[in-house]
Amino acid sequence: MVPGPTVIYECGHCSGLIEYPTIASGNTFGARVWTDGKMDAPMLPDMPLLVKCPHCRSMVWITEQKEVGKMRPWLVDRHPYPSARPYEEPTVDDYVGYLAESDLNADKEFYARVRLWWLFNDGRRYASRRLPLTAREIENLTALLDLMNDDATSEPLGKAEILRELGRFDEALALLTSIPESERSKAVLFLVNLARLGDPYVREYPD
């Protein structure tokens, strides 16, 4: 992975400066991909668009903030923006509060809900714990499914995965088997198998 410049943005709420590292080039070598769509790629770090301001703790869409400059990532001894701080990752409570308070368009709501879904699933993903869904997760997944159903371009795979995680296996299977047999990818076959087994947990796709 080759780092790009660190971009300095000004928070639209408090005018505090936020550091946002970028990547000049990366690849998906050694990546782990999960059934909820999350990918962990050591050579291609995640670049979240919705982050928390490190100064006022507001949720901000980082690329919509005013860009005030760029700096080389290794330039640490003479920081040109000494008050700048790295952005913070939102927590579950941050996403839930933000979604409840904000009137987001469908694209932004979709983005925030997918991130919240991944964050909830991290407890199962990395610890292999078989935790049942909480009420907040069910609410999030149901809202996400509604957003996907309203979007004619959304793929059956994502909807089927949500239905599977909600334990609605028959509906997940109906969606997956509606895909013509010649178009069923390995991912589709993997989800079919999990749904037939009655397995509702996020899983890593095999190589």
What is the identity of the amino acid at 56? C
**Binding mask of the shown chain, residues 41 to 60, with x at each position contacting Zn ion by CB under 5 A:** ------------x-xx-x--
Specify the DSSP element, H or E, that contains 2: strand 2-10
The DSSP output letter for 4 is E
Indicate the residue among 32 and 55 with the shorter CB distance to Zn ion: 55
CB of residue 111 to Zn ion, shortest distance in Å? 20
CA 180 from chain centre, in angstroms, equals 28
CB of residue 49 to Zn ion, shortest distance in Å? 16
CB of residue 169 to Zn ion, shortest distance in Å? 44
Question: Rounded to whole angstroms, how far apart are CA atoms 142 and 194?
Answer: 20
Question: Rounded to whole angstroms, how far apart are CA atoms 203 and 95?
Answer: 23
101 φ, ψ (degrees, to nearest 5): -90, -20
Report the residue from 7, 11, 17, 191 that binds Zn ion according to the rule CB under 5 A. 11
CA-derived radius of gyration, the chain:
19
Question: Rounded to whole angstroms, how far apart are CA atoms 60 and 4?
Answer: 21
**Binders in 16-45 for Zn ion, by CB under 5 A:** 16
Indicate the residue among 16 and 167 with the shorter CB distance to Zn ion: 16
Question: Is 13 a binder of Zn ion (CB under 5 A)?
Answer: yes
Report the residue from 1, 5, 14, 92 that binds Zn ion according to the rule CB under 5 A. 14
CB of residue 96 to Zn ion, shortest distance in Å? 20
Contact positions vs Zn ion (CB under 5 A): 11, 13-14, 16, 53, 55-56, 58
